[in-house]
Structure 1
Amino acid sequence: MLHDLIERAFEPASEAIRRGTIPGAVLGIVTADGRSAACWAGAAQIEPVREELSRETWFDLASLTKVIFTTTRILHLAEEGRLDLDAPLVAAIPDLRQYDMNAAERKLTFRQCLAHQTHLPAVEPLYTYGQDPQTLRAFILQRVWSSGPPVYSDINFMLLGIAIERITGQALIDQPLRPNFTFRPDPRLCAATERCTWRGRVIRGEVHDENAFALGGASGHAGLFGTVDGVLDFARSLLDGSGLSAASLAAIRARQSEKRTVGWEGMYPGWHGGDACSPSTIGHTGFTGTGLWIDFERGLAWSLLTNRVHPSRHTESGILPLRRATGERVVALFDAPAQQG
């Protein structure tokens, strides 16, 4: 039974909560045939006052925004014929690096950005340049970005977010979303994140990522909030094929590099999802302490949502070994003869 499975798989998270390395966590499991279960413990907030966490707690999903929202939205637009994954971004953003028609950024394609196969840097403290969203968007488009080898880059997904806005004519924060996802959560229902020195308060119900906050609360790389049931429902839609076309599903599973697919990370030794999952597994994590892994061979997905940055990111939360231990337990218990019976 999934209920028994998840309680045992949750034991590493329970121990981390007991040790105080994370305030709280929710673990959810879903199968291709729609069976699901969840287990949770700990605090949604420990300061300024303690509040308990529940299955209905909304989490700042951080970089899970990249796969749940941005990648999926781009693929849906491709399915509708409104963009070509192998076309350059300038097809949607003609003013990208508009003062240099030979700029490298003007040659970048949607697929390259989705798979993090560009020269763009990992991150830039854009919020230190101001908080006017439109000016910051213009800065992203006109910046002469330093060139380097391909790395996991927030800038790739900021550009994709701007492309979505241009193609749809609608701000990211107003884009349609699946149930149990939002860019505008009720703070009272959310897990708290960091005591932010820049904003001078404990962050709860507003995006933790400083750049996404300065860009208006939603960006292609961060800003989405969701519940564990929202994440599981999204995962189930990929497992059963209802969420994307066959071509789009093939794209998110096919390697574009050693570790990357279109939008997602493919299984590799030592990754956050653990080594027990099948080679057909894809996954992604979020800086706030979130993660989602989808094992297509087993028809199984799991999501571990924590608020490990509360009240500070500058502590050792042990999130990597926690994620790995959880994933390995989920898979081992799922494969056990009693589960298969």
Structure 2
Amino acid sequence: MIPEVTRSLLETAIDGGGLPGAALGVVDARGAAQTLVLGLAQRDPDARALTADHLFDLASLTKPLFTARELLRAVAAGSVDLDDDLGTFLPELAWMQDTPLRTRSLRQLLTHTAGLPAWAPLYTWGDAATIRARVLQEPWTMRDPGEVVYSDLGYILLGRVLERVHGRPLRDFPLDAGLTFAPEAARSVATERCAWRERMLRGEVHDENAGALGGVSGHAGLFGTLGGVLRQAELILRGGWLPAAAQDAALRPAAPGRTLTFVQAQAGWSGGSLASPLAVGHTGFTGTGLWVDHARGLAWVLLTNRVHPTRHSGFDIQGLRRAVGNTLLAPRD
């Protein structure tokens, strides 16, 4: 299931210094799975071998695997509707401003079409309480809705919606086996020597804004093992990730190049050019990714620590992701 050419790609990336380590998992429509774990969990300050039990900082995989999934569960339970306005759940949002943000829908936030900016340095604003208050009152420059602008800010707001709907902080939500918001440092893959926190991050969220918000947010903060993330891919491929109607809605086209939860196959897509047109996937900044191709009956997960010890290595992680996807999907004799 994992061809030798795929192993060779990953070994070359590791031996050439581009990646400390990599964990690959593949599962087919029958549930047959295979995994491959290579290289190191960290190089700095000392070398430690990567194992299947190590936890990776999943970064933006938090968006589909937690935030979007929980919102669609809430829709299925009748707690929210995708076309509800953001202001329905956050009535204090921009309360002294005349802003369209209050009337943007959960659907628009999920699909990154609400018109919000992509990012802001929230971690420079102050403590977590200050950031949580200010992010609701900041006079964001809004685009017209409809254009896809990938936005961490939108998912930070969706995380706040989930907290209001369920009456508890995100870190207290139950998670599937192999996923956690409270990683043990000893079991975690190292990410980066953070210039802001002035330490090597291990078992601590890499994303600065999520770190400043206490380690968990709607856009980042989830950690997972290879087995835990591969199980999510299998549930998406074979059913059971969401109630049937909600799962169908989650994977249908919902905006240009996007479903409610994932990025669709398109030119330059991270899963490679051999995927079927309705294949879906998502990546995380730390070097993680998950892809599902229902038409081909295959799903795969590639977890790396490409930001260790620095994000500025110049390594082409997108090129590696596409190459891995193509080797897995290429016809074999």
User: Distance in 1 between the 2:154 and 2:249 partners?
Assistant: 17
1:204 is matched with which residue: 193, 202, 205? 202
Gapped regions of structure 2 (runs ≥ 5): none
Q: Secondary structure at the match of 2:202?
A: coil
What SS does the corresponding residue of 1:63 show, helix, strand or coil? helix
> Which whole-Å CA distance do the structure 2 matches of 1:287 and 1:168 have between them?
28
**Could you tell me which residue of structure 2 aligns to residue 237 of structure 1?**
235
Query: Aligned partners of 1:315 and 1:336: how far apart in 2?
Result: 34
The alignment partner of 1:203 has SS state of strand
How far is the alpha carbon of 1:299 from its aligned partner? 2.1
- Report deviation, 1:252: 2.2
Please give the alpha-carbon distance, in whole angstroms, between the structure 2 residues aligned to 1:7 and 1:97. 55
Aligned to 1:184, what secondary structure does the other structure show?
coil
**Does residue 121 of structure 2 align to residue 125 of structure 1?**
yes
Q: Deviations over 1:113-141 (max 9, x none)?
A: 000001111110000111x2222111111
What is the rounded CA distance, in whole Å, between the counterparts of 1:17 and 1:232 in structure 2? 21
**Normalising by the residue count of structure 1, what TM-score does the alignment of the two structures yield?**
0.94
**Aligned counterparts of 1:78 and 1:98: Cα–Cα separation in 2:** 26
Decide which of 281, 284, 287 is 1:283's aligned counterpart: 281
Counterpart CA distance in 2 for 1:330 and 1:196 is: 34
CA contact (8 A) 1:44 1:307 kept: yes
TM-aligned CA deviation for residue 235 of structure 1: 1.2
Deviation at 1:246, TM superposition (A): 2.7
Q: Is this contact kept in 2: 1:6–1:29, CA < 8 A?
A: no
Q: How big is each residue's C-alpha offset from its partner over 1:262-321, in whole Å with a ceiling of 9 and x where there is no partner?
A: 121011021111001111210000000000000111221001100000000111111011
- SS of the equivalent of 2:328 reads helix
Q: Is the 8 A contact 1:6 1:39 kept in 2?
A: no
Encode CA deviations 1:10-40: one digit per residue, 9 max, x unaligned: 3211110010011110010012222111101
Residue aligning to 1:317: 315
Residue of structure 1 equivalent to 2:51 = 54
Q: Is the Cα–Cα contact under 8 Å of residues 57 and 191 in structure 1 kept in the other structure?
A: yes
- After superposition, the C-alpha distances for 1:228-267 in whole angstroms (9 at most, x for unaligned) are 1101111111112112123222222222222111121011
Corresponding residue of 1:22: 19
Q: Which amino acid aligns with 1:305?
A: L
Give the root-mean-square deviation of aligned CA atoms: 1.2
| Cross-structure match for 1:293 | 291
CA-to-aligned-CA distance 1:50-104 (integer Å, 9 cap, x gap): 101011111000000001101101100110000001111122212111223x411
For 2:135, the aligned partner's letter is: I
8 Å contact kept, 1:6–1:28:
no
Give the corresponding residue for 2:61.
Answer: 64
3-state DSSP of counterpart to 1:292: strand
The equivalences for 1:172-321 within 5 A come to 172-321=170-319
SS in 2 for 1:285: strand
Consecutive unaligned residues in structure 1, runs of 5 or more: none
| Preserved CA contact (<8 Å) 1:276 1:331 | yes
CA contact (8 A) 2:84 2:106 kept: yes
User: Corresponding residue for 2:36?
Assistant: 39
Q: Is the 8 A contact 1:288 1:307 kept in 2?
A: yes
Pick aligned residue for 2:104 from 92, 105, 108: 108
Contact 2:87 2:93 in 1 (8 A): yes
Q: Are residue 147 (structure 1) and residue 142 (structure 2) matched?
A: yes
Q: How does 1:75-114 map to 2 (within 5 A)?
A: 75-100=72-97, 102-114=98-110
CA contact (8 A) 1:267 1:280 kept: yes
SS at match of 2:22: strand
Give 3-state SS (helix, strand or coil) of 2:255's partner: coil
Contact 2:27-2:230 within 8 A present in 1 as well: yes
Equivalent residues of 1:235, 1:301 under 8 A apart:
yes
Superimposed CA distance per residue, residues 147-178 of structure 1 (whole angstroms, 9 cap, x where no aligned partner): 23541000010000000001001101111100
Offset at residue 7 of structure 1 (A): 4.5
CA distance in 2 between counterparts of 1:43 and 1:82 reads 44
2:131 — aligned with what? 136
Distance 1:8 1:150, change over 3 A: closer
Structure 1 stretches of 4+ with a deviation exceeding 6 A read none
Q: Secondary structure at the match of 2:129?
A: helix
